[in-house]
Amino acid sequence: MNQEIGEIITAIPQGCIFDSHFIIARLIKLHPSDYLLFAGSNVAVVKKTPITHGLLAKQLNSFRRRGVISRLEFQSYSENITGKPSKCACWIKQ
């Protein structure tokens, strides 16, 4: 999943802010099979969203440690994969 997330981050212009929901939406659109494996099941992915968010955070932190992105102090309020608005982490591409 690291490679797929890296491709998405690479496509984000430098200096742009994005949130974790954006990364998940792009993963589902560009790599749906890989996302389902990452989420841990082909069934009930929505119920596994909190677990998946935790795994995604670990992946994004690996890019943060390499100086590719930085986590911002504030959160966004955007749609999750169920279409419901919720808070999530914001990042900026370095």
Q: Do residues 42 and 54 make contact, with C-beta atoms less than 8 angstroms apart?
A: no
d(CA 70, CA 84): 26
Range of the domain at 41: 2-93
Alpha-carbon separation of residue 46 from 49, 56, 66, 82, 91 (angstroms):
5, 14, 30, 7, 23
Q: How many domains does the chain have?
A: 1
pLDDT tens, the chain, 94 aa long: 899 999 999 999 999 999 999 999 999 999 998 888 887 754 454 555 566 777 888 899 999 999 999 999 999 999 988 889 999 999 999 9
d(CA 40, CA 67): 28
Phi, psi (rounded to 5 degrees) for 41: -170, 150
